[in-house]
Amino acid sequence: MNKAQIDKAIANAIKSGNWMIRFENEGRLSPSIDANGFKWKPIGQWTIANDWNSRPVCGGGLHGQSHEAGGQVIKGKYIVFCETRGERVIIDGNKIKVKSARRLLIGNLPEGLKFKSSLYLSGCDLKGITLPQSVGGSLYLSGCDLKGITLPQSVGGSLDLSGCDLKGITLPDKLKSKVIR
């Protein structure tokens, strides 16, 4: 896929709600192999979970956080934005799994994302990342380098900034719970 095709796929994924974010430690390598040895296809190509099942338990699919289920505690250095297709199964309210997804962005999030749920980005490399304007649940950013980052305008739960340098950081206008520093 060229950049225009990827941009169009990103816009369609956001509009339809068929997206998730996940994490990788390998950065921009393509294809990517996750911690369990599962091999993701190169950027723009569909990856299919051969072990797919629709049970709302871990395993049997491709996992990530999405607008309807987030807060999954999975560590990885690089954030990955994926388009999804087919059935979406929510697991424990903090992640989803799908049968098919394709990686569209590595190391960044597209503008226009809105999270109804929590968002867990602790320990991620956030350099150059545009965070969503609003997060409906809690936002976990502990241990992240926040230099140059604009926090969401609204966070519906708590905001975990423990271990972060807050110099020059403006806290959200709307914050339901306390800030953890």
Q: What is the mean pLDDT of residues 93-103?
A: 93
What are the tens digits of pLDDT across the range 118-172? 888 887 778 778 888 889 989 999 888 888 888 888 899 889 999 888 888 888 8
Spatial separation of the C-alpha atoms in residues 176 and 181, rounded to whole Å: 16
Cβ within 8 Å of residue 168, ≥6 positions away:
147
Spatial separation of the C-alpha atoms in residues 21 and 13, rounded to whole Å: 12
For residues 96 and 107, the model is more confident at: 96
According to the model, what pLDDT value does residue 57 have? Answer: 92
Q: State what percent of residues in the chain have pLDDT above 90.
A: 36
> How far apart, in Å, do the first and last CA atoms of the chain sit?
42
- Candidates 76, 63, 102; CA nearest to 24 is 76
Kindly indicate the confidence band of residue 36, based on its pLDDT and cuts at 50, 70 and 90. Answer: low
pTM: 0.86
What are the tens digits of pLDDT across the range 51-73? 999 999 988 999 999 988 887 76
Domain residue ranges of the chain, discontinuous segments joined by +? 1-70+78-111, 114-181
